[in-house]
Structure 1
Amino acid sequence: MSQDVVKYIWTSGRLCDFKGCERADLQPVSINGWFWTAVLQKLAPTTQRDQNDWSETGGIGKPQPDNREAQQGGATENCLAVLNQFYNDGVNWHDVACHHVKPWVCEENEDLLKYVRYTNPTLAI
């Protein structure tokens, strides 16, 4: 990715901005509501820059996550992508509206593999 072959990928990162995300420990959601969907694990608050890989810049020059598209009248940026020099900022996390088409990174996780085996018993994994 760092050799400019892949410009961006989706991760399993997601903003908890749906029903059930009203919990006190997720507030404010823009800071404390990001999590890995594959393992349902919260990310560090976005304000703890040493605990995550959020970019310091983006399409409007603000630290990520910035919800830029929604600010500009578009969709909410509630998915987490890794962008490779897209804004000349290195390989970093960016909040991006989920409707964009990007390649995915699939996580090999034993709980997910158990689920796939259970729901697809004839599949060889």
Structure 2
Amino acid sequence: MLTRDKNTVSRHKQVDNPFGQKSAIMKVFAVVFGALFSLACAQFPGGRILESPDAALCASRVIHERTPDGKGYMFSWREPSLRGVEEDWLGGRNYCRKRCMDLVSLETSVENEWIKQRIVKDKVKYIWTSGRLCDFKGCERADLQPISVNGWFWTAVLQKLAPTTDRRQNDWSSTGGISKPQPDNREAQQGGATENCLAVLNNFYKDGVNWHDVACHHRKPFVCEENEDLLKYIRYSNPHLKI
């Protein structure tokens, strides 16, 4: 069963102390444009950046379904303007973030199963999630070692995943392209890119619908999930818009 790990990729002292008595909105601003800026620079060499939300796009964002708790989701393959369009991991994140959303983070078993049901129902081969391996500058902390076991996190919410060895707390597949349990970094072992992003594959290896580590440059459909921090920031900075 998947549960929310209370540990985050950033140390609690580093997250809490700098804010002091600042307002909740200022905390959101710092998270969106402070911590994520440095994280983005580390993750995306070559000039690509993690995009900021766009007020107009946030106001007109498309929601295909909402969960009982009210959170909205957009499925790229259901959106007419995205029909046939697939993005690499960063491209998917940026499409979502411009609309006050982010790639989906499967933080609970309920959400994980809910998303998997829609993948199966819509006959989608695979999707991107916000999951990523913390293998860039700043990830040398002892509690993240070894990175392949303790270094995975949901980037959209800066939430650390349970160790990959704890199979009760995650949904990693038992097999993959080289018949090894996921994550296996198969592509790098075969002379290719590091598999440092997390995708959900639909029975791709006759293994059911499960998590796989995949090189981030591959293009896939994606699911956007409303991001409350981005929504709060845009509502605060654009009070005239109905968002």
1:6 corresponds, among 121, 124, 135, to 124
Aligned 1:15-94 pairs, distance under 5 A: 15-94=133-212
Q: C-alpha distance in 1, partners of 2:188/2:199?
A: 16
Alpha-carbon deviation of 1:112?
2.7
* Correspondence for 2:34: none
Task: Say which structure is richer in helix.
Answer: 2
Alpha-carbon deviation of 1:110?
0.7
What is the TM-score normalised by the length of structure 1?
0.92
The structure having more radius of gyration, on CA atoms, is: 2
Q: C-alpha distance in 2, partners of 1:123/1:112?
A: 14
* Correspondence for 2:41: none
What is the TM-score normalised by the length of structure 2?
0.48
Q: C-alpha distance in 2, partners of 1:38/1:71?
A: 28
Alpha-carbon deviation of 1:120?
7.2
Alpha-carbon deviation of 1:107?
1.7
Contact persistence 1:82–1:94 (CA under 8 A): yes
Q: Identify which range, 2-11 or 64-73, moves more after superposition.
A: 2-11
The runs of 5 or more residues in structure 2 that have no matched partner are 1-118
Alpha-carbon deviation of 1:108?
1.4
Task: Say which structure is richer in strand.
Answer: 1
Alpha-carbon deviation of 1:114?
2.5
The runs of 5 or more residues in structure 1 that have no matched partner are none
Alpha-carbon deviation of 1:123?
6.4
How high is the sequence identity, in percent, across the aligned residues?
86
The verdict on how the C-alpha distance between 1:36 and 1:59 changes in structure 2, with shifts beyond 3 A counting, is same
Q: Which amino acid aligns with 2:185?
A: N
